Amino acid sequence: MRNHKWKIIWSIVIIALLVFTYWWGGNSPSLHGWTVKRPPPKTEQTMTMTESTTIKAPKSIEKETTQPKAKEETPVPVDNTTSQNTCTLSINCGTILNNMELLADEKRSIIPPNGVILSETTVDIKQGDTVFDVLLRETTNRKIHMEFTPNPLLNSSYIEGIANIYEFECGELSGWMYRVNGVFPGYGSSSYGVKNGDKIEWIFTCDVGYDVGGGGITNNR
**pLDDT tens-digit series, residues 190-203:** 999 999 999 999 99
Question: Does the residue 197 lie in any domain?
Answer: yes
Q: Would residue 69 count as lying in a domain? A: no
Give the number of domains in the chain.
2
Cβ distance 186 to 217 under 8 Å?
Answer: yes
Q: Exposed e or buried b for every residue in 121-156, given b needs 16+ CB within 10 A?
A: eebebeeebbbbbbbbbbbeeeeeebebeeeeeeeb
Q: What is the mean pLDDT of the chain?
A: 79
- Average pLDDT of span 140-146: 98
Q: Is residue 196 part of a domain?
A: yes
| 110 in any annotated domain | yes
How many other CB atoms are found less than 10 A from the CB of residue 159?
A: 24
Q: Is residue 220 part of a domain?
A: no
Going from the C-alpha of 186 to that of each of 23, 120, 216, the distances in angstroms are 144, 22, 10
* Tens-place pLDDT, residues 146-187: 999 998 888 889 999 999 999 999 999 999 999 999 999 989
pTM of the model: 0.62
Query: In terms of residue numbers, what domain contains 124?
Result: 86-212
